[in-house]
Chains A and B, each alone.
Chain A
Amino acid sequence: GAVVSQHPSWVICKSGTSVKIECRSLDFQATTMFWYRQFPKQSLMLMATSNEGSKATYEQGVEKDKFLINHASLTLSTLTVTSAHPEDSSFYICSARLGGADTQYFGPGTRLTVL
């Protein structure tokens, strides 16, 4: 149980375009989903926390107008990188947590490359 999927697994786009990444909890209802960014050989940096049906809470330094997060249902959250630039190239990973539980389950990640 507790499987989280992400789509796409990798994406290459041109600078200035927008990219949408989906995160789904497959066998449980995720009250809260998290979006992380991981640069090569670095740790996971939390970008934002989203609760179903409410606005996302962004970490300091993360531009909410650039990284749009939607958590429309208990099994789906999306991250849209708007007007992507090469410095946005990274590994984006989501995680999901059942309400009241401790454990976060991670998706397989999405490798974004912006040319």
Chain B
Amino acid sequence: GENVEQHPSTLSVQEGDSAVIKCTYSDSASNYFPWYKQELGKRPQLIIDIRSNVGEKKDQRIAVTLNKTAKHFSLHITETQPEDSAVYFCAARFGGSGYSTLTFGKGTMLLVSP
């Protein structure tokens, strides 16, 4: 099955700095890569996603890049704010049409200090 590695496990930045979280995946057939933000005790919320036919996608302060050859994708958050503090999970979709599941990375705890 799919295996997703995520780094770092924790990341501390000062407000206004940029934060980068990296993930690698094992199944070269994976074609969908979402990122979720989860605050303590809350549901994971989709913040951005990318499909394998695109190399980069941006939404305001958040961007995701995908390198299919190297099988890795990254989340970039610019101008971080204290409310960005949360656990971020990357995921890769495993399986073809009709049956596909998401495999999640182990998460990155981001702490943005004022």
Residues of A near any B CB (own CB < 8 A): 4, 34, 42-46, 49, 57, 91, 93, 100, 102-109, 111
Contact = CB atoms under 8 A, between A and B. Distances in A.
Nearest to A94: B43
B51 A106 contact: no
Contacts of A49: 99, 101
A107 B107 contact: no
A103 B46 contact: yes
Contact of A42 (B34, B97, B99, B106): B106
Contacts, number: 47
A115 B102 CA distance: 32
Contacts of A57: 99
B42 interface: yes
Contacts of A105: 46
Contact of B105 (A43, A93, A108): A43
A108 B44 CA distance: 8
Interface in B3-17: none
A49 B98 CA distance: 12
Contact of A44 (B45, B51, B89): B89
Interface string B84-114: 0000010001000101011111110000000
B101 A108 contact: no
B37 to A, nearest CB: 11
Contacts of B102: 34, 46, 104
Given A34-B101, A102-B51, A108-B43, A43 B93 contact: no
B107 A43 contact: yes
A45 B36 CA distance: 14
Given A57-B99, A111-B41, 13 more contacts: A34-B101, A43-B105, A43-B106, A43-B107, A46-B103, A102-B34, A102-B51, A103-B46, A106-B44, A107-B43, A108-B43, A109-B42, A109-B43
